[in-house]
Structure 1
């Protein structure tokens, strides 16, 4: 079995490859080729969580190889103030034919890359083709990954960053300017960042809404990725009510998305407010944007299939290049 650390994941899984793999994962999901129960989550004090997420892709044509595995991950929001990663854990994948453990892959890096790549797939399907101004709310790992991911699918020329800490917002804007060669700026007010932006990515750890309808311009596409539990929200009810909503998976969204559950429980939307899954768009079972002024929303919960497909890709690359640390799990002789 290979042990694959975060730097190796980042080297072997560039954003271009991740977007392609997420497109394949969503297509498999939309084609009913994925077995994936709802994730099991242990809630812990301090808004912390420990989650277990298994998945299997059954059709070899849907991804590089038939894949199955499980992600185990902790979510510790306080780590952002400690200089540590918020998401920590492992993705375990197994050799498809034998069931022998193939790799244990550092999950934080996988999560950061695949989440942004999934948003890129959604953005490519839903944002206006000429979208060039991106607003990012948040300054952490996901914020940085999303800037890179948006540039992979749209002609991004302007990046605006908002964060609770102005110094971190400026540092991220400076990074975007240097990395992508775009105009980038930090903003103290959310509206300054979002108004006029064709793409808005919310990547905060907030449990209360930070994005309100008055801060969203007609025609914008929103990737909401920070609130992945029922008690957490980034979007005001009016934002959700006024948008055409698309999700990674209906079952997950209706059980786990605080952004959707709050207006649903308030009677402001019904379950049919979800227009489709990203996989359904890819296989032609749902229709995406219908007008330039329509506001579209991708509510991202993160799916185990995304992690498993990503980890299988990393394992294959690592095995081919001799990367990672090989360990033996052979049972002891008696």
Structure 2
């Protein structure tokens, strides 16, 4: 929808204009640009509004002569289901006159670009012969990750684990074209998996380090700030730990902060940003038996790049 010079993408518009293959490409470029220093962003500011309620802003610029803007969101937990909603907008400005040109639904962009970023990291860090995927969680991110991850690896087996067996069964039924099955035993499923994705609002560890086998790649996605952790410190300590942003990880990566505070790791345990791996500056996986961990916190340039792709695609159309 266009009003004068301002283009608005509601959730349906974002879904229609931001395909998973395109978003994977856009996010890969954004991750490399961040680590190369050609984009700029500040650490997000988070304003607590009470238990389970946060207001956050994430400003950034895609380059000195490129678009800039911010993602402004509320993150509210549903006390009934425990699920969290990221509601808000991404606002983009053009670089020549500083005019706002885009307002886009932030929740839908977040859903798609987060899964796309996980797919990029999985492609870079998982073994090439990875065939078993474990999805931990049954919410919106579980759905988007099941769209994105099969684009970078061919999985012969997809295990779905959730606290609610009914929700896990519903997720399995929603993807009949994938070899999905519900996992009733999380420890056994973790031991079987080549790639693990944690996509929950868990406050305490669900995955323990001694469950994770050599050669496994783990994506930590659910916790986006200090406090809630999805895996224990043993897993962090035994892994090659690679976040989307080193600065963000040192500030807000809960699992890393807990392990650091316990004296199990130092800041040097962060191997590199995923963008540095993509640029070929650092090896993500050095041998087949490495346990690699990608920590997804999300950063502004991912959202801005996705919104810019939407805008430029609409202009071409």
TM bracket (short chain): over 0.9
Task: Work out whether 1:300 is the aligned partner of 2:296.
Answer: yes
Q: Which residue of 2 aligns with 1:208?
A: 204
Q: Determine if contact 2:141/2:199 at 8 Å carries over to the other structure.
A: yes
Does residue 39 in structure 1 map to residue 44 in structure 2? yes
The answer as to 2:60 corresponding to 1:55 is yes
Partner of 1:226: 222
Q: Is the 8 A contact 1:79 1:86 kept in 2?
A: no
SS in 2 for 1:268: coil
Give 1:24 shift: 0.6
Determine the C-alpha separation between the residues in 1 that align with 2:18 and 2:110.
Answer: 12
Q: Which residue of 1 aligns with 2:247?
A: 251
Check whether the contact 1:80–1:86 (CA below 8 A) recurs between aligned residues.
no
Q: Does 1:268 align with 2:264?
A: yes
What per-residue deviation string (whole Å, max 9, x for no partner) do you get for residues 239-293 of structure 1? 1111110011111000001110000010001111111101111222211101111
Distance 1:286 1:311 in 2: 29
Structure 2 unaligned residues grouped into runs of 5+: 1-5
CA shift, 1:79, in A, is: 6.9
Matched residues in 2 for 1:161 and 1:77: separation?
Answer: 22
Whether the 8 Å CA contact 2:7–2:103 is kept in 1: the answer is yes
CA-CA distance at 1:236 after TM superposition: 0.3
Per mean C-alpha deviation after superposition, the further-off stretch among 284-293 and 121-130 is 284-293
Could you tell me the TM-score, scaled by structure 1's length? Answer: 0.90
Calculate the aligned-residue CA RMSD, in Å: 1.6
Q: Identify which of 7, 27, 36 aligns with 2:12.
A: 7
Partners of 2:210 and 2:234 within 8 A in 1:
no
Structure 1 stretch displaced more, 218-227 or 148-157: 148-157
Alpha-carbon separation, structure 2, partners of 1:67 and 1:153: 29
Distance in 2 (alpha carbons) for counterparts of 1:240 and 1:175: 32
Separation in structure 2 between the aligned mates of residue 278 and residue 142 of structure 1, nearest angstrom: 20
The answer on whether the counterparts of 2:130 and 2:155 sit within 8 Å (CA) in structure 1 is yes
Runs of 4+ in 1 over 6 A off after TM superposition: none
1:280 counterpart = 2:276: yes
User: Which residue number corresponds to residue 112 of structure 1?
Assistant: 111
> What is the rounded CA distance, in whole Å, between the counterparts of 2:251 and 2:231 in structure 1?
17
C-alpha distance in structure 1 between counterparts of 2:166 and 2:110, whole Å: 25
Q: Give the superposition deviation at 1:96.
A: 2.3
What is the aligned partner in structure 2 of residue 331 from structure 1? none
Aligned to 2:3: none
Q: Deviations over 1:154-197 (max 9, x none)?
A: 11221111111111111111222x2xx22211123212332221
State the distance in 1 between where 2:310 and 2:124 align.
26
* 1:175–1:39 CA distance, 2 compared to 1 (3 A): same
Q: Is the 8 A contact 1:85 1:108 kept in 2?
A: no
2:134 and 2:190 in contact (8 A); partners too? yes
Instruction: Could you tell me which runs of 5 or more consecutive residues in structure 1 were left unpaired when the two chains were aligned.
Output: 61-65, 322-334
Displacement of 1:76 after TM fit? 1.2
Task: Write the distance in 1 (CA, Å) between the matches of 2:35 and 2:241.
Answer: 16
Q: Is the 8 A contact 2:44 2:57 kept in 1?
A: yes
CA contact (8 A) 1:136 1:200 kept: yes
- Alpha-carbon distance between aligned partners in 2 of 1:294 and 1:54, rounded to the nearest angstrom: 35
- The alpha-carbon deviation at position 59 of structure 1 amounts to 6.3
Q: May I ask how many residue pairs the two structures share in their alignment?
A: 312
